[in-house]
């Protein structure tokens, strides 16, 4: 006994719904990739193979290749750093200082910033790097 079915195989496939899904995924990834933005002073960070994402902290210092020191976006002299660090530490209670130094900055400039932070009671330091793309 042979049963007849009313369902017949499709002779053509409509790609419009598949195209809509692919376009929505493309738009989603393009928009979400724009959310990772750094604010503040632009510096070329040194590369590192083991780069880890940083937690946001109010205690951060940026040192440009000209030797200018920024706390946030405000230019600060080296002599003012201990006082500003102690004020920031009292307001935040965070002991982590994030140092963003340009890769051409001499190490002694970074050491001066670390010494200023230690005199303010900050004892943990994070040097921010970029992911090394060569290897």
pLDDT band at residue 24 using 50, 70 and 90 as cut-offs = very high
Give the mean pLDDT of 43-57: 60
Q: Looking at the domain assignment, is residue 97 inside a domain?
A: yes
Q: Looking at the domain assignment, is residue 69 inside a domain?
A: yes
The three-class DSSP label of residue 14 is coil
Q: Looking at the domain assignment, is residue 122 inside a domain?
A: yes
Q: Looking at the domain assignment, is residue 99 inside a domain?
A: yes
Question: Parallel, antiparallel, or unpaired: how do β-strands 47-48 and 74-76 relate?
Answer: unpaired
pLDDT in tens, 51-82: 555 555 668 888 988 888 998 888 989 889 88
Q: How many domains does the chain have?
A: 1
Q: Looking at the domain assignment, is residue 23 inside a domain?
A: no
Domain containing 96 equals: 47-131
Q: Looking at the domain assignment, is residue 4 inside a domain?
A: no
Query: 95 CB contacts (<8 Å, ≥6 apart)?
Result: 89, 121, 122, 123, 124
Q: Looking at the domain assignment, is residue 13 inside a domain?
A: no
Q: What is the CATH number of the domain that holds 64?
A: 3.30.420.270
Determine the Cα–Cα distance for residues 106 and 134; give it in Å rounded to an integer: 23
Contact 43, 100 (CB under 8 A): yes
Cα–Cα distances in Å, from 118 out to 9, 35, 61, 125, 127? Answer: 76, 34, 14, 10, 15
Q: Looking at the domain assignment, is residue 6 inside a domain?
A: no
């Amino acid at each position: 006994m042979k049963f007849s079915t009313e369902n017949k195989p499709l002779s053509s496939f409509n790609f419009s719904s598949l195209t809509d899904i692919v376009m929505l995924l493309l738009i989603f990834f393009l928009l979400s990739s724009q959310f990772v933005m750094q604010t503040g002073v632009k510096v070329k960070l040194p590369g590192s193979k083991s780069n880890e994402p940083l937690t946001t902290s109010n205690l951060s210092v940026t040192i440009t290749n000209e030797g200018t020191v920024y706390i946030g976006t405000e230019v600060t002299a080296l002599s003012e750093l201990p006082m500003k660090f102690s004020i920031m530490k009292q307001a935040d209670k965070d002991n982590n200082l994030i140092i963003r130094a340009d890769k051409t900055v001499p190490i002694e400039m970074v050491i001066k910033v670390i010494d200023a932070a230690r005199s303010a009671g900050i004892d943990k330091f994070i040097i921010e790097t970029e992911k090394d793309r060569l290897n």
